[in-house]
Structures are given as structure tokens and as C-alpha cells.
Amino acid sequence: MNFLRQFLSVSLWLGNIGMALSQLRSVPGASGANFAFQGRYIVAVSDADMIPSAYIDGKLGPVEGQDALSVIRLDRPVRELKAVEVGVSNSVTGPPSVLDVSPDGRYAVVIETRGQRPIGNTDLKLSDLPPGKVITVVNLTDPDHPAVVQRIVGPEYAQSVGFNADGSLVVVAAQPTNTAQPPLTLYRFAKGKLSEPYTPNLPNWVAGEQLNGAVFHPTRNTLAVLNSTKATLSFVQVADEGGRLSLSAWGSPVQVDRQPFKAVFTPDGRYVLTNAMYFGADISATNSVPSSVLSVRLAADTATRPVHQIVDRVVSGVLSEGLAISPDGRWLATANLEQSSNPLTSPKQGFFASVTLIRLNPQSGLLERVGNYAFDGILPESVAFDNTSRFLAVATFDHFDEKRPGGSIDIWRIAGDANDPKRTELVRTNYSVPVTRGVHTMVMVR
């Protein structure tokens, strides 16, 4: 009888396990208990024109495929996740801000920092790439068949592109060699098309200075602008009067750390986070100067003399490019190049990159670095949280392992320990989606 009871107990246990696994497999987008990445789709762009070490030695290296925009639908089981690609010219030589998606998720806009490599010459340098000036609009209505619907000539050496909250305006920040060219260009956007450009005067800008980006506030037509020459974060309001767009300063610029690279607003719009690269002359002989992240509190809308204030600062990994905030406003992540862009034969090649996880207090704006997490990848430049705020997508430009050709979108998970409530880890999972080599800017469509 005891044997029979044990047999029936084990059979019932196995049956329950089988039923649980069957139910788990039936959940769209899931194939394991540790994967619950949520969102509509991921959109990313890859620059196939150069290898990572071109940043160091200037040699573009061999082409691998063609520049591409990738779309990854997330409403499928994880084992079926794949990228659908369409050819779109783009460049990795600017900040990872060359792509944005309209708030309704129907259109993507892509800019060029540098143009395509000349045809016929195989021994090309990074300096041989012409100035970028093409802006491309891609229809994402059918994510399985993204289609280019518009190409126009925009400002040279564009650095960032972004939509406003209702999708009616697009801003492009550039670093023009012609000092007479304004650094900010605005476009109206309707029915999948960009209008003629508007180039209103940018307050407090001096000809010859360089911008690394401009991003719209999540609810109103206010821009956060990064001046890399002065290392400042400033805010300007966009006004539309009788069809004429104009810019006016909102408070004084905030002095930030050297080489501000990206800016992101908190979901409620009360704070701006910005990371600093510390590259070039700021890099020490060992190339190990850590980057930083600043938290800036915005002035109240009703302030007659608005003052924006830095409230906290933490260090991240070396050469942080990507910066993302979770939808719940509680986490930040940076993607850190470390020494992975060095030639593989260089003694400076560290054979790892890293991701930094930072805890953010949504009320106070205070920051706490949880940790740096190294991984086996080359030149990760972009990160994006999923809808649950518990998973992170990381765009990995290339891999050290020659058996893994191309780039990838890798999934990480924020994990805790039931036996140690204070412990938080960022774990790289085995879930990864291959894309064209050179992936560098990524947007999560929610």
C-alpha cells in the first residue's frame, strides 16, 4: 500500500508539472519561467560600413551586409523571436540616438551622421565616409514588412532625432561644419511624412559649438538640449504661433560632466538623467576613466525664474553610450563600451563590455549604483527596458566569438534573492536575437 501511495503521489506530481509546462507554453512570448519580456516590438538600426576598431585605428575593415533597420515582434514565443530587416542608411559614429519611433508605433525616423562608404575602394578609412544628410521614414504598420516611405535631405552630421509627445513634431540635432547652419532643425510630421524644415534660432548657442542631442519632454513641447562643447544641459520651449515655430529658453543651462552623450526624462517629466562619456583628452593613459550619470530636477512649471538643479551623481562603466530608464521610473541602465572597441591584437583590448544598473528614487531623484556587469560582447551602444521594468534589451554591435557572426539584441533580467531582500543582480539570459552587424541604436515600442 505504501508503494502504491508513493506511485500515485509521484504520478500526480508529474501530471501537475506537465500541466504547468503546457500552460506556460501557451502564454504568448514565453517559453520558460524566467522569460516574461513584454512589449509590442523592438526597432533597431545597424551600420554595416565599419568594424568596431575603426574608432581606434581609423580602418573601416570589411563590409558585412548592408545598413539595416530591424524589427523584432514580441507577441510570439521566445523561441520564435526573429528580426525582420529593411535597408536603411545609418551611422554608428554619433550617439545612439539616430532612431526614434512615433508615439503610436506606426513610423520610424532614421538619420545619418556619416554617409555610405565609397564603392570600389577596399582600403578605406573612417575619415573617407562622407557627411551624412539623409533622413529616412519607415512605415511599421505591418511589423513583418517594414517599408521605406520617405527619404529627404536633412542637416549634415546629424546626431539625434526625436518625436514630441503627440507625434506632430520631429527634432534633429546636428554638428554642422558650416557654422552658419543652425544646430537644431524641426519638422512637422503627419501621415507618415516629414514637412519642410524649420530652423528657429537656438537660445544661448554660439556658432561653432556642438550639440550631442535634443529630446522632447514626455508631455509638453519642451526640449532638453546637450551642448558637448560647453558640457551643458539646457531647456528650450517650442512655440507654434500662426504656423511659425520658435524656441525660447526655459531657465539657465545646467553645467554637467564632460562630453554629455544622452539625456532621458523620467516618465513623469520631473527629472532629466544624462550620462557623460569622458573620452578623448579626458581618457587617462590606461583608458579607464569611468563615465558618470547625473540626475537633474526640473523647475516647477509655475516658477517665474526657473532654476534646474543637479540632485545626484553616480559613476558607471567606462565609455557609457546608451542610457535608458524603466517605464516605472525606478531603474536606469547604461551600456558601456569598456575597451571592446580596440583592435583584437591590441594589448588594450579587454575582451569584455559591460552594463551598469542604477536604482532611481522617482520622488527625490537620488541615484544608487547597483553594479557593473561585464559580458562577452563588443561595443554595446544602446539599452532599452521592457514594459515590466524587469527586463533589459542590450544592442551588441559584434561578438568576439567568430562562430557568432553579426550583432545581436540580448535580453538581461533584473533578479533578486528571496533569502536576501537587499540583493539585486542583473543577469544576462541565454535569449538573444541575431541582427546585422553594427547594431547601435534601439527603441522599445510599448
The string of pLDDT tens digits covering residues 191-240 is 999 999 999 999 999 999 999 999 999 999 999 999 999 999 999 999 99
Q: Which fold has domain 30-445?
A: Methylamine Dehydrogenase; Chain H (2.130.10)
Q: Would you say 103 and 123 are in contact if contact means Cβ atoms under 8 Å apart?
A: no
Closest CA to 27 of 15, 42, 37, 41: 37
What gap in Å lies between CA 427 and CA 375, rounded to an integer? 10
The string of pLDDT tens digits covering residues 362-376 is 999 999 999 999 999
What gap in Å lies between CA 319 and CA 278, rounded to an integer? 7
Position 295 scores a pLDDT of 98
Position 28 scores a pLDDT of 37
What gap in Å lies between CA 28 and CA 38, rounded to an integer? 10
Comparing 20-34, 44-58, 68-82, 393-407, which segment has the lowest mean pLDDT?
A: 20-34
Q: Would you say 416 and 65 are in contact if contact means Cβ atoms under 8 Å apart?
A: no
The string of pLDDT tens digits covering residues 247-277 is 999 999 999 999 999 999 999 999 999 999 8
Q: Sign of the CA dihedral 101, 102, 104, 106?
A: negative
Q: Would you say 209 and 187 are in contact if contact means Cβ atoms under 8 Å apart?
A: no
Tell me the β-bridge partners of 194. 189
pLDDT band at residue 179 using 50, 70 and 90 as cut-offs: confident
The string of pLDDT tens digits covering residues 15-63 is 433 433 333 333 333 345 567 899 999 999 999 999 999 999 999 999 8
Position 20 scores a pLDDT of 35
- Mean pLDDT, residues 56-82 taken together: 93
* Confidence (pTM): 0.90
Position 288 scores a pLDDT of 66
Residue 1 reports pLDDT greater than 50: no
Q: Would you say 142 and 127 are in contact if contact means Cβ atoms under 8 Å apart?
A: no
Q: Sign of the CA dihedral 327, 328, 334, 335?
A: negative
The domain limits of the chain are 30-445
